[in-house]
Structure 1
């Protein structure tokens, strides 16, 4: 067959299209896999930071190794405070669950201190080897939703660390929730006083280390009173009886 035949020209063009299509598909699959891995890596990094592993991360520690060695993900039924297998821990996405009415519950107006309107029925929590638990928190910030994690000791009351990984707070003001110096205040603070949520964020400069409630107080951010109030609302909701309160009560009871 002549190299100049129309059939051969079309055959070569067709085969070239097939090869290019396969290469494009393979590239897309690789990109999707890489994006999925990067998202997983960011979650693991954030959970580890909340749990007090920031120094190891800064020192170049392997995030995947630190996570698999120290953390165990579990699905929590928030209402009962019990672990559940109602959804798959390997695939459950709490943000995506908010798009499914069957996986959400409406928050009563008088309890909606975080300004969310509704929340997912289930949460992915992380159990550390030392008994600490890392809990996902979210709520309305000044300009948009805020997402973070807070680590609580196995006494169900003592904060071990806190970090926000997504927010739209004002740079230089509310965005200072990312400042390591501000986050350094959280470890050692107590969430409850008796059965009441007592942990609070006060206006910058109002914190008194000698006050009777110093163990429950976080000094706010300069010029960001609204953000501090929003963070306090998030804390007050998630540690209430409509949030992680039932789970932490059971954690305390197990410890005795």
Structure 2
């Protein structure tokens, strides 16, 4: 039986997460359920997309990802099961699926439901569907195939010969600012040239391997394990101290002849 992961905006103080797990384990006590995060901010689709895209590929192929974020976000009450890169995703029709898959899932079906309104879609609809897929069930049994699901677009980089403009796409628990500027994009444009990184009122001229390579309280940039340019303050909260957050602009500028 495949692993089932849970991601939600339910938080950790209420019974909502436990209710979904109780449903899964009541239907199959042998189910393997792994929490990704339940600390997604309520209805925060970009945050959920970042967290899931950062880690889903670390799980074995065939893993089923139940995503209970903004589960009542669609007035039409649509919910989908999708297959993408060997993984399954169960999610409300709120645009999250298009972000995770870059709009190109291999298969999408609209889950069958006889109810016009589900008080707890994660528990009553997505959990049974997740178990069905985890046990090797055919996704097409869950509903009709569709190409109609809400589309959202990920932030795109702006590139030219002398600069890259990106944005902060996530602020982690430590206040680190994670951008959509990748190591590959920087190396492709740089061609060995020196560059500086600009954000807020700050200019940084060097990328370090880790944040602790600078003194406590100093700001630095690094590429994280996913190859994304990240801005942090050693032993400090960069988001709070720099006054930057989600969607803040970050520029990398290259210098001819250097």
Shorter-chain TM-score range: under 0.3
> Which one has the largest radius of gyration?
1
Q: More helix per residue: 1 or 2? A: 1
TM-score by length of 2: 0.24
TM-score by length of 1: 0.24
